[in-house]
Amino acid sequence: MVDFATILSEFDEVLLMDIYPARELPINGITSEVLLEKISCQNKRKILKNELVEWVDKIEANVIAVLGAGDIGNEVKKIKKLAQEAA
How high is the mean pLDDT of the chain? Answer: 91
Q: In which band, very low, low, confident or very high, does the pLDDT at 7 lie, cut at 50, 70 and 90?
A: very high
Distances 60 to 23, 40, 54, 81 between C-alpha atoms, Å: 35, 20, 13, 16
Task: For residue range 44-79, list pLDDT tens digits in order.
Answer: 999 999 999 999 999 888 889 998 888 888 999 999
Residue 47, domain extent? 2-86
pLDDT number for residue 83: 87
The total number of structural domains that make up the chain: 1
Map the chain to HEC letters. CHHHHHHHCCCCCEEECCCCCCCCCCCCCCCHHHHHHHCCCCCEEECCHHHHHHHHHHCCCCCCCCCCCCCHHHHHHHHHHHHHHHC
